[in-house]
A and B are shown apart, each in its own frame.
Chain A
């Protein structure tokens, strides 16, 4: 079967070889009504639209009713009522299990885990119940309407339990999807796509960017495709892959590398599983070098999967080993956060040593 041609870049139109479960293949470009908003507002808009467009969708979690600790759920309870937007007690395992049950009966359950660091009591429910429901019932049941939203990542002073990036644990579970947006515009589209995707999705939101990132976001209802990576900067010497807040750090490193004559191609993975291997493979086939960067500790982080898969696909093309610039193999530290983090300079060093290999 002939491979469909792909054009990269933000305005590119891509043709899928696989049928993706989301309905939107194209970004909404017709509406000129867009406002600059920050990340939590974009997410809030997405939730308003989700609840408005489907009367069987519900938002719940700890403290969501008054607007949430990051203000992502502002105005929902007032607009849609406390039957559809409500607080739960402090019980993550209960929240996840309850959400799976609700989704199993065809509802869209949008559950919030207040910090990704607290998701572990819910881990059993997500791995053993949510991910395997459709599979073990022979498609008789499913909890595709489930979306778990959770703030993740470093914030400068979060310490051990308000900074973790647990995405790798969930990427190891066939049956779940893991989606991580990098900006307000991406977040709204990806969240709506995740909510409407007929598979359970874990949606991690970079908490560092809740207020910090501001972007023009269309007021309308739009979705962005899942399982499609985006090339956000074209280059020819090395491919950099990341997701979430780390992309802004990677971008800075690209700028600095440019000044030293290194042309970097930057890819936002967006969906971590199932991930868009084709886009990354095509890029590395072009550049011959790969660097992956994420906040989570390097050993067993998702960068390891990307590295292994790309080496399988591009072995003869590679000019250098795949570099991973990630968090250190320690618990997320308290005062040492600046040392732990994969900073711009660490990335720049790795870019140079990879290019000069």
Chain B
């Protein structure tokens, strides 16, 4: 078999994240062969016929899933260390374990489609094309941060990629997302908006208000419940009469998806986008899991057992999103195990470099305290006492 150079310098988000590696040997499969892979579990539909379990993908896509998720995982672990070293202060909600949702969603949509989420937003930001230096700088409150250091962990945004952030108040982002969808429909953009929220937020009243309005006006809004089964420390069955979040839309159809399977997420989001553009809102419930606690002040082990956490991670259980993709890559001879290890090493280096660069960035100037309260020149003078 001819050796093929693997190029990852593509238009995918990983272009910003990884430098192309060259000179790697492959045993088989060229980049663009279509592979049909079955999802781990079938989809379950509520008032809708679910899509097929067979998902079309390519070796290139699987490798990009692997490298993107490895990068996200590494970033979150590094953020954990930075927080403990007190370089990141305030709040820090880590996404490791849930990477498949961010990565699978991006594979199904474009940058014209909107994404809005809550505070567990670092990986979503990367998925939308944000870079590591912007992310780490924002976490450390520096000028090079994506929000100029004024937002912090919970407030990452990227307007040119239709990423509407980054919100602290639980559930408040969902009506906003439906509003964005309204604008997209009004402007005939042919795009949709994914409004992400957690199982805790699913019990907020404003969600149902937004859902009703979206259904009434057939808005291209896709409500995505990232169900990691714990609202902070409260298990889903303690907070919700019906933890079948994909059914909670009642008159709005829903789909339950294995959120740890990037291919399943991709299929579901593709399906949802087609549906939403033609008909109106749909709910996606991503069955996922977070390894860390709710935030850095939560060990995450007082309300769930360590066995449960490790059970989800273990390769034998097949749920860890990165391990799952690794297995697929190896099973289909897309790349050898050593190549994947190299990617992980490369990723570590990229993260370390980005952190070093972010540390160089200065804190925002004191005058920035007063900027952007109102539009410049149209607000009240701030009197410094």
Query: Residues of A with Cβ closer than 8 Å to B?
Result: 62-63, 66, 87, 89-91, 93-94, 117-118, 120-121, 157-162, 298-299, 325-326, 328-331, 333-336, 339-340, 342, 346, 349-350
Contact = CB atoms under 8 A, between A and B. Distances in A.
B308 to A, nearest CB: 18
B141 A334 contact: yes
A161 B169 contact: yes
Contacts of A118: 169-170
Interface string B169-194: 11100000000000000000000000
B204 A335 contact: no
B150 A91 contact: no
B364 A335 contact: yes
Nearest to A163: B90
B384 to A, nearest CB: 7
B218 to A, nearest CB: 27
A-B CB proximity, top 6 nearest: A161-B168, A89-B203, A335-B141, A89-B239, A336-B369, A90-B200
A333 B205 CA distance: 28
B363 A335 contact: yes
Given A63-B232, A94-B203, A349-B385, 14 more contacts: A62-B234, A121-B204, A158-B90, A159-B152, A159-B168, A160-B168, A161-B168, A326-B385, A329-B383, A334-B90, A334-B151, A335-B364, A336-B369, A339-B369
A90 B369 contact: no
B369 A334 contact: no
Contact of A334 (B150, B231, B239): B150
B89 A157 contact: yes
Interface of B: 89-91, 141, 149-152, 154-155, 168-171, 200-201, 203-206, 231-234, 238-240, 302, 363-364, 366, 368-370, 373, 380, 382-385
A90 B382 contact: no
Contacts of A93: 205
A299 to B, nearest CB: 7
Contacts of B168: 117, 159-161
B224 to A, nearest CB: 17
Given A333-B150, A335-B149, A328 B382 contact: yes
Nearest to B303: A66
A195 B252 CA distance: 43
Contacts of A331: 373
B369 A91 contact: no
A331 B373 CA distance: 7
A329 B382 CA distance: 6
Interface SS of chain B = loop
Given A63-B233, A325-B385, A90 B89 contact: no
A330 B382 contact: yes
A334 B203 contact: no
B169 A91 contact: no
Nearest to B366: A339
Nearest to A155: B90
A157 B370 contact: no
Nearest to B241: A89
Given A158-B90, A333-B150, A299 B380 contact: yes
A344 to B, nearest CB: 13
Contacts of B384: 328
A350 to B, nearest CB: 7
A183 to B, nearest CB: 25
Nearest to A114: B232
Contacts of B363: 335
A157 B90 contact: yes
Contacts of B204: 90-91, 121
Contacts of A349: 385
Contacts of B368: 336
Nearest to B168: A161
B206 A90 contact: no
Contacts of A62: 232, 234
A346 B383 CA distance: 13
A330 B370 contact: yes
